Structure formats: C-alpha cells, structure tokens
Structure 1
C-alpha cells in the first residue's frame, strides 16, 4: 500500500524529545509538533501506527473543525487544499496544535493519511489566541488524487487525529477526535429533446451520472444510483420532481415525459457517503 504512511514518524517523535524545551526535560514532555509531520509520498512505506490517546498535564482540545464543516470533495487531477482548525485550552496558554486525517479500521491498520505542512521548523499550526488560555490553530492539509488519495476505497469516512501543546509543555493527543468525509467528485448532465416540441408530444430526457476515479484519474459512470428528473416552469425558480430513475451500468440516464409547458428539465442526484450530491444544469424546452 503506497501511502501507509505517514504516522510512523509520529510514534517515534513522541518518544524522543520535548517541544522547544531543554534537553534535560526531553524525556518528560511532548516533542516539537513540527517533528510529527511525516512524508506522504506514494513510495513511503507505512511501518507503524499513530500513538493512542495520550496527555500530560491540563492541555485540552475543545473543538476541531474540518474544511469549515463541509465534506472534502476530490476530483481526478487537482489537489484539494483545506483547513483544519483545532481549538485548545491550557492555563498557561496554547503554543501549537496539530491535526491530520487518517483512514482505516484502526491506527494499526491505517491505509491512508493526509497531513499538514509545517509553517517553519518549529510550528505546525497558525495560532490565534482568543484569551490568555485559549487559542485556535489552523493547519492546511492537501488531498492529492495523484499522491495520498490514490485508491477509490479511500472514499468515505476518515478519522481526525488532533494534538495540542501548552506553553508549559503540557500536551494532549486525540487519535480519533471526530470524523470527516472525503468524497469522489461527481458530475451530472442532462439533455431534453426534441427542442422545440409540440404540446402533448413525447420528450426524451437523457444524461449521465459520473464520478472521479482516483485510480485512473478519469471520470467514470456511477451505476445503479437513484436520480430524480426535475422540472421548473419558465418563469419559476422552483424545481419539482417528475419521477425517479436509476443510472444504468455505465451511468447513463434515459426517460420520457409528455410536453406540457415551456420550462427546464434537470437531473438531480442526492449523493452517497462516498460521492457528493450534484444537480445538472437545467435544459430548456420550448413547447409550441
């Protein structure tokens, strides 16, 4: 597995030294969080798991927000950059925070990781204090369909690993603070014909539902999915559902309706845990 990555460095780093503290204190404290950031190269073997929940002192992680609360949607070639915000507290103030996403049943069997880049040699998060004891630190992660998002089976639920360290070198680690969804980008098309059409005549509405294939870096038909055919009148802003059909073995859609009034037809897909919802751009039909 190409990216089994990444968190091997985390395990070793946690056992080594303190965060910017004298060497004599190194065995008793958490290391520089920047040293936790491993490589995510495809070629890097995954040799160890991330550490389990761990803490020293009274540092606490109180909130984690991934991509402003939205799912992370990744296409076939373009990297998706997103932010994870970690809010933490410590009576002596918060120095830094770290977050990454990992995929798999548990950390011993993780098969993917999305990790941040360090701001510099000592800092991971860009931290903003909201009080003397609380700060929110933002880290930027990149999901790359040509690197760390390399298998279609990685679509779905990922776990969020979060850590924070206080100014007094207390720290906390939460290996699965919450979950986030990483999804395969979707596309949906529609074509209603003939145009124009006489009232009462048959309109054939075709289209295709497809989604990103992270292994071929192309879009492929999403098969056997329920898709709604919707219609809105020419001077209306509201679509109503006419019927629901399923995509065929190649993602194609096809159905017929009777022409009644001028308006727009579109297909609408509600989405799944691995693929986001998508609406086709409405296709106007002139009814004579």
Structure 2
C-alpha cells in the first residue's frame, strides 16, 4: 500500500472507514500505518505547510485540526541501506530518543509513536513508509524515553515504485488520541500530534542478482576461456527481476588454494543485462563477476565458478 496514493484517494464518508479500520496486507495483519499516515497528513494540512488535500480535510464528519503535542525526537539511528526484492516482506528497526512535556503520558493506551521514512520533501512526500505497529518506548527519565520501532515494506502489495529507489529521509511521529482513535465522529482538535522529519537518511534499493558461468570445463592451459553471466534487479512494478543494462561489472579470478579475488578486467552489461567476455586460462581456480552497486541497486558478486586447467 502506497501511503500517499491511498490517503489521497479517500474522501468524504470513506475517510472515516480508513480512519477506523487499519490497512491489511497479504498476510492478513492489520496495521497502525493508515492511522499514522492519515493523522500526520491532517496535521500537515492544518499547519499550512502541506499542499495536498487530506482525507480528514475532505470529511465533513470530522471537526477541528490536531493540536501540537509537546514531544520532540533526536538521536535517530537507521541503517545505511536496505535491499527490497519483489515479493518478500522486509522489516528493519529504527531507534530514537523521545523527549516530552510533563503533561504528556507516554504510557497511556491512547499514546502512539513510531518512525517513518519518506521520499521527497517532508511536507509533500511522494511516498511514505511506516511500521505495522507502533514503536515500544522505555522511559529513561520523567521526560525522556528510548524508542524502537520497525519500518515494514511489502513490495508485492505495491508499497514501492521503481522511481522510489535511492535516498529516503527518516522522521518520527507521536500521537495522543485522547479517546478519538475509534470514534465514529472524531474531534481532531482533541488529538495531539508531534511530527519531525530530517532525522536521518537511508537507501531503499532494488535487490540485485548476478550469475557467472565459465567454460569450457576443463580447459587446457593457455586456451581461451569464455565467461558469461547476467546482472538483474527487482522491478517493483511488475514484481519480477529484469536485466540491469549498461552497467560496469568486474571479471574476477581466485586461484585455487587462495582466498582473495583479483580483478582481471571490467566489462559492461548489454541492453538485457547479459555479460560475455573472454580471458586466458592459466591456473585452476574460480571465476566470477562482481558489481559495485549504485544508489538504487546494491552491490552483488556472483558465486565463483571453478574451472580445472589441464
């Protein structure tokens, strides 16, 4: 579920159903992400910084705008990069420090907080990803807590488009629902929201695969060896892997009995992601291709193919 696409499509009475019933994924689990995304967008719209018309703005059944909750975030820690394939659910942990006013009860059942990542600008992102569940927090003083929550990605459910690959920013959100979370006619003026972006960055990358096949096997010493392979990456729009065209890939060799690969030459994938090159066979050992990666696609090395030299 792409958050921006889902929220923007909801209006009028449908907004309340989106508010009351969290989104479900293929595994059937309900999530808090729809609540978090929708209330965040309502708060952004109310602040005048966002340009999108929100589900809450369109719903005549709601009243008011969320108020500013006395909560701030710091020390957010997120991984450098995450690989996402075509079908498997990907979850990764984010931690941060939450600081709150004395009037905010973070132990209340009505209080929720969680991390999120967003693509594009903070006030009008092209996509956002939350966790299925709120973060868990442990108080470290009367006004601070350390919190840890997941970001959950479901590529098979349309969470990502290919254009989403690359750099994302990280933020954190806190909501004090004050009894309005399951209300049929929520009064948003009773809902407190704290939202902070720009707390970190990460890469969300299209997972890559690489193969290598060297032949003939065996081969006589000094004869020509041909190595073929293919570099592919996940396509988040059709949920298949396709060749990654015009990319530099290193041909590497590891002599039998050693543990280190040495680069022999650099070759480029063709328009279908295929690789083919020749070299001279001198020693028994393993041949492979190795791709250094890009901001949108992670590095990957093929399994070495052993060739016996006669």
Deviations 1:31-86 (A, max 9, x none): xx9953549xxxxxx7449xxxx9665x44221122xx141211111111222212
Question: 1:214: which partner in 2?
Answer: 236
Is the 8 Å Cα contact of residues 102 and 113 (structure 1) preserved in structure 2? yes
Structure 1 Cα separation of the partners of residues 152 and 306 of structure 2: 39
* Counterpart in the other structure of 1:234: 256
Aligned to 1:100: 116
Which of 79, 84, 108 does residue 89 from structure 2 map onto? 79
Residue 156 (structure 1) aligns with: 166
Paired with 2:159 and 2:192, the residues of 1 have a C-alpha distance of 34
Q: Does structure 1 residue 184 correspond to structure 2 residue 206? A: yes
**Equivalents in 2 of 1:163, 1:3: separation in Å?**
15
Aligned match for 2:73, one of 61, 71, 77: 61
- Answer whether contact 2:228 2:277 (CA < 8 A) is retained: yes
Q: Deviations over 1:198-237 (max 9, x none)?
A: 1100000100000001111110000011100111111111
| 8 Å CA contact 1:189, 1:280 repeated in 2 | yes
Aligned 1:96-175 pairs, distance under 5 A:
97-108=113-124, 110-118=125-133, 124-164=134-174, 172-175=194-197
CA shift, 1:5, in A, is 4.5
**SS in structure 2 opposite 1:82?**
strand
**1:249–1:264 Cα change, 3 Å:** same
Identify the residue that residue 268 of structure 1 maps to in structure 2: 290
| Structure 1 position 7, deviation (Å) | 6.8
Rounded to whole Å, the distance in 2 between the matches of 1:173 and 1:232 is 52
- 1:279 partnered with 2:295: no
Count of residues in correspondence between the two structures: 245
Q: Which consecutive unaligned segments of at least 5 residues does structure 1 have?
A: 9-32, 40-45, 119-123
Summarize the Cα distance change of 1:209–1:193 in structure 2 as closer, same or farther, 3 Å threshold. same
Q: Distance in 1 between matches of 2:140 and 2:122?
A: 34
CA distance in 1, matches of 2:248, 2:236: 23
Paired with 1:149 and 1:212, the residues of 2 have a C-alpha distance of 13
Deviation at 1:133, TM superposition (A): 4.5
Cα distance change on mapping 1:233 and 1:131 into 2, 3 Å: farther
Structure with greater helix share of residues:
2
Q: Structure 2: how far apart are the matches of 1:7 and 1:160?
A: 20
Q: Distance in 1 between matches of 2:143 and 2:122?
A: 32
Q: CA deviation at 1:170?
A: 9.4
What's the CA shift for 1:196?
0.6
String of CA shifts for 1:252-278, please: whole Å, max 9, x gaps: 011111011111011000100000000
CA distance in structure 1 between the partners assigned to 2:97 and 2:272 by the alignment? 45
